[in-house]
Chain A
Amino acid sequence: MAMLQLDEDLKKLTQSAQLSNALGHVDNIIDLLTNAREKIATANDPHTTSLTLTKLQNPTREGLEGVNEHLRNVHRAQTKYNKALTAAFEPKDKNLKGPLPTNHDPMADHPQLINRAIAMHLLREGQFGVASTFISEAEPGPEPGASQYQRQTRLPPSTLRSPTSPRSPTPTDATMDAEIPVELQSEALQTAFSDMYSILSSLKAHDLFPAIDWAHENAAELEARGSNLEFELCKLQFIWLFKGPQVNGLPDSSANGRSGALDYAQRNFSRFRHRHLREIQQLSCAMVYASNLGASPYRVIFDTTLAFDEVAASFTREFCSLLGLSAESPLYIAATAGTIALPQLMRFLNKVKGKNTEWTTEQELAFETPLPKSMIYHSIFVCPVSKEQTTDANPPMMLPCGHVLARESLQRMTKNGRFKCPYCPNEGSAKDSKEIIL
């Protein structure tokens, strides 16, 4: 609860230590001096002058002393707060003591990659104004006065990749679109994201048509991804019409309510007949219960309280996926994961301090960095024999009995082409085991 204590300490500081408190004394001195001047000027005789000046000495000195006293107060309070501040960040774990690890910075050599990540982050968050200012500031300009540090951190012309090409895993594609100027690329990205935001704002207003149009245009890619977004949207549109003007607030006409819904279904559902027959049947059956839906088995399907939010979330996810991007800002996730994992990194660095180890030279971290489940995106297979994670070079192999080991472990166990499973009594031959993709 260090922060809450610090809050108290800060209140004490701000209330007691204010430079403005000394201003009263300053005003007093100004008054003393002005009055004395007036007196001397009016009397205009040497005796009064000497007397006034002599009498002025002590009060002025006291006034100045008063100012200093206030300053000393401020100083004392600041010293106290300084202690509180240090204490608030004093870690209980002695392995976390000491300054942040700044002597080895693996990010320092890649300002352009970081800038690209930031530009894309700003665009995906819809901060188009900031993004365009940032891109123009980070672009290499013809200013000879720019510092070396700043020149390093400027974007080269090819750092923002065209968002419409699905990303390929090979590093070579980063250079492929080198001829496309960065502005065009970020423009394309911006257009894409501003489309996304306009569709999302329609969804918020319960207008599903822009989203349905988008899903329809991209139906083939969506289906390949195993997404049924288009059907979900159409289904919601049907339900929304079905609810009628009292709920959806649309004009009360034949295009609304039950008849409107039926009409909509007839015009649109046929193209989903193959994939979603059962659900379409359910929706038609629900028509029978129209007058009493709340008590029918279909009430769950027709509950739209969360439906628009859910459909908006899956729309965002699919939209970003088709651009080859994750739905959440990777920069946000990485920074959050970074603060969660930082204590482990610091503990490790404190332990190996002085051994001249750079933690980034290894292929794998030497310590565990537990993250919440929501931040685990890939299957991770740790070989139960070698305790190593499987990789391209050492992939998981399934034995005939269904148990899985890393290939290197399996090779070590194999004698004359045969092995015994370490987890069950089965024996097998090396050629019967199979590389699998988890």
Chain B
Amino acid sequence: MGDHEASKLDYENHLLLEQPFLRLPFELLRKNFHGARYEVERDGTWIKNTLKDTATSAVNGRSSQEDVLKSLDSMISRMRGVKRKLTSFADEEARLYRHEAARVSHLGELYGMHSVDDVKYEAWSRTRLNRLLVDYLLRSGFNDSARMLAQERGIEDLVDVETFEQMSRVRGSLLKGSVAEALAWCTAGDTKKELRKMDSNLEFMLRYQQYIELVRPYTPAKLTEAIKHAQRFLHPYRETHGREVQQACGLLAVPPDRAYKYPAYRELYSPKRWEILADIFTTTHNTLLSLPSIPLLHMALSSGLSALKTPACHSAHPASAAAPSHSTSLALAATVCPICSTELNELARNVPYAHHNQSHVEHDLLLLPTGRAYGKASLDAYAKKSGLQEGQVKDLRTGDVFEPHELKKVFIT
């Protein structure tokens, strides 16, 4: 049956889902480093130049003693600022190292197991499910549940509550109609550079929305401000976003109360744009941090539901569908199939059932007059449990009792 083959762990393939799991702390480490370097370079250059200027003017006798001391004081406080910032970058780095190490060692544990039937594997796989759940909860914005689940299971280092909370804060502010936090995120440290590298239109879209909001009140003062804003922030994009920039100019001629006549302008004034912006932000954020665009739980579930699903799981046949006692279960101790169980039954309707090249049925099948076939071992065990007379059998589903001569052997080829 190749069963041994199926339960053996293929480590590399088993970790297909896990790349983002190790990627995220590392991408954050990189981001953290770039942030630190940006600060150090900026302040370092400033110190170097200030020191040089101070020295030159002191030597030339152009600056007073007082000026020199003042400038030294500002250099000292600037340098203390560098220290403060660098310390907090270093703390973040330590936290991310801890996360990465915890994750590598969690994945490494898998190598200590040989098959999915290993008891240690179950604990490992449960931790993986909890990770996937926390990821899903965070992506859906259920931050409190995510935090609680991570805490109760002691997997804080294996999940990314902080990152997603920060993301949902920015997202939330966009949905409330404010671009400030999203713009700050876009322009912080070297995010701007990274966004340009990936051809992101997020910043443009945010600036565009700012512009729309300036036009919306349609007062002369605001319109002037809007034009200034456009010159400064939209004009530079005229090559890449020509159509939008042109539309922006057109918008000046269309006050919101008359926009219903022009679908294109009506759309620009629509509050729906905030949702679009929030989605652009989420996509951009996830791409930047190498996060997959859909929750990993979705991926695990769609492939898992399909692999487990059989034609019997949604059978209209009252007999072969899952009743409390399961009709076509292979196992002697009839447990409910996970796909037939309430939790997943409806969800599994949306995926194909598994493909099998071989039959998987019980050994020594016997057909009862009810039209149902069971393995001899199951029938014997059930007869014994029910206290039947020697040779008699009882249908596991219908409860009918039959004499030995009523049974027929079934041959499965």
Please name all residues of chain B whose beta carbon is closer than 8 Å to the beta carbon of A307 when the two chains form the complex.
none
Would A372 and B117 count as touching, CB distance under 8 A? Answer: yes
**12 pairs of residues in contact across A and B, judged by CB atoms under 8 Å:** A3-B11, A14-B97, A78-B33, A130-B152, A147-B275, A149-B279, A163-B342, A327-B335, A334-B344, A338-B302, A342-B17, A437-B372
Q: Check: B221 CB closer than 8 A to any chain A CB.
A: no
Give B120-159 interface residues, CB cut-off 8 Å to A.
125-126, 128-129, 132-133, 136-137, 140-145, 148-149, 152
> For A150, what are the chain B residues with a Cβ–Cβ distance below 8 Å?
140-141
Q: Specify which chain A residues have a CB less than 8 angstroms from the CB of B76 in the assembled complex.
A: 30, 33-34, 37
- Chain B interface main SS type: helix
Please give, as numbers and ranges, the residues of chain B lying within 8 Å of A335 by CB-CB distance.
125, 128-129, 132, 297, 300-301, 304
A206 proximal to B (CB < 8 A): no
A337 touching B387, Cβ below 8 Å = no
From residue 99 to 114 of chain A, which have CB atoms closer than 8 A to chain B?
99-102, 105-111, 113-114
Q: Judge whether A68 and B79 touch: CB under 8 Å.
A: no
User: Which of B54-62, B179-187, B196-204, B261-269 lines the interface with chain A?
Assistant: B54-62
Contact among A2, A118, A387, A404 with B136 in the assembled complex (CB-CB below 8 Å): A118
| Nearest CB of chain A from residue B207's CB, rounded to whole Å | 22
Interface segment, one of A50-58, A241-249, A250-258, A289-297: A50-58
Q: Which residues of B contact A343 (CB under 8 A)?
A: 10, 13, 16
Query: Which residues in B have their C-beta under 8 angstroms from that of A88?
Result: 22
Given A3-B110, A338-B305, A377-B308, 14 new contacts (CB under 8 A): A20-B86, A41-B69, A100-B299, A117-B344, A137-B144, A145-B175, A146-B175, A167-B341, A325-B341, A331-B344, A339-B300, A363-B353, A379-B359, A387-B357
The closest CB in chain B to the CB of A27 belongs to B83
A18 & B301 in contact (Cβ 8 Å cutoff)? no
Q: With both chains docked as a complex, state the minimum distance between the C-beta of A82 and any C-beta of chain B, in angstroms.
A: 7
B355 contacts across to A, CB distance below 8 A = 364-369, 389
A334 touches B300 (CB 8 A): yes
Chain A 328-347 near chain B by CB (<8 Å), digits 1 or 0 = 11111111111111110110
Minimum CB–CB distance from A1 to chain B (whole Å) comes to: 7
Instruction: With CB as the reference atom, state the residue of chain A lying closest to B345.
Output: A167
Q: Does A127 contact B (CB under 8 A)?
A: yes
In the complex, A27→B247 CA distance in Å? 54
Cβ-closest chain B residue relative to A368: B355
The answer on a CB contact under 8 Å between B6 and A342 is: no
Q: Report B-chain residues with C-beta under 8 Å of the C-beta of A2.
A: 11-12
Do the beta carbons of A67 and B44 come within 8 Å of each other? yes
Q: In angstroms, how far is the closest chain A Cβ from the Cβ of B241?
A: 24
- Is B171 positioned at the interface, with any CB of A under 8 Å from its CB? yes
Q: Flag whether A414 is at the interface (Cβ < 8 A).
A: no
Partner of B306, one of A1, A332, A369: A369
Chain A interface: which of B212-220, B226-234, B250-258, B310-318? B310-318
Residues of A within 8 A of B351 (CB): 106, 360
- Find out whether the CB atom of A133 lies under 8 angstroms from the CB atom of B144: yes
A355: B residues at CB distance < 8 A: none
- Interface residues in B1-60 (C-beta closer than 8 Å to A): 1-3, 5-7, 10-20, 22-23, 26, 29-30, 33, 36-37, 40-41, 44, 47-48, 51-52, 54-55, 58-59
CA distance A3 to B115 in the complex (A): 17
* A61–B411 CA distance with the chains assembled, in angstroms: 88
Residues of B within 8 A of A336 (CB): 116, 125, 128-129, 304
CA distance A88 to B108 in the complex (A): 12
Q: Is the CB of B148 within 8 A of A129?
A: yes
Complex formed: what's the CA distance from A340 to B7 in Å? 9
In the bound complex, residues from chain A placing their C-beta under 8 Å from that of B26 are 78, 81-82, 85
Q: When the two chains form their complex, are residues B17 and A339 in contact, meaning their CB atoms are under 8 A apart?
A: yes
B119 contacts partner chain A, Cβ-Cβ < 8 Å: no
Q: Across the interface, which residues of A come within 8 angstroms of B282, CB to CB?
A: 149
CB of A180 within 8 Å of the partner chain: no
Interface: B245 (CB within 8 A):
no
Residue from the set A4, A376, A392 with the largest chain B CB neighbour count within 10 Å: A376
A147 to B141, Cβ gap below 8 A? Answer: yes
- Indicate if the CB atoms of A224 and B325 lie closer than 8 Å: yes
Answer whether residue A274 sits at the interface, using C-beta atoms and an 8 A cutoff.
Answer: yes
Most chain-A CB neighbours within 10 Å: which of B10, B86, B279, B358? Answer: B86
Distance in angstroms between the alpha carbons of A420 and B95 in the assembled complex: 73
Cα–Cα, bound, A276→B13 (Å)? 50
> Chain B residues with Cβ under 8 A from A30's Cβ?
76, 79-80, 83
